[in-house]
Amino acid sequence: MRRGLFAVALAAALAVGLSTSATADTAADTAILAGTCAGCHGAELGGSGAIPTLRGHSADYIRFTLTAFKDGERQATVMNRLAAGYSETEIEALAVYLSQLQ
């Protein structure tokens, strides 16, 4: 359990190190961004309780939802603040990456 929490903390720390102007041009960058999702959505991004799964959604749905959080059209405790820092390129990369998870 400690190893999993360490991995999540490390991914979050690395992602915080990325500036908001950084782009997710590589799979590694996108994996780091997606790793920050694990803090709430779980290590396997399957969600728990009120936190939804990120697996099994289409790229269009993920893109739409992240953009709605970014623009304030959809409200959530944490997601609005996180999505506000994502560039359009990062949202697109996350949408594609997350849509490929089964």
The residues spanned by each domain of the chain are: 2-99
- pTM to 2 decimal places: 0.73
Beta bridge partners of 48: 51
Q: Can you say how many angstroms the Cα of residue 74 is from the centroid of all Cα atoms in its chain? A: 16
pLDDT tens digit string along 52-83? Answer: 999 999 999 999 999 999 999 999 999 999 99
> Which contiguous run of DSSP H or E holds residue 35?
helix 27-41
pLDDT at 21: 41
Q: Does domain 2-99 have CATH number 3.40.190.290?
A: no
Backbone angles phi, psi at 71, to 5 degrees: -80, -5
- Does residue 2 have a pLDDT over 60? no
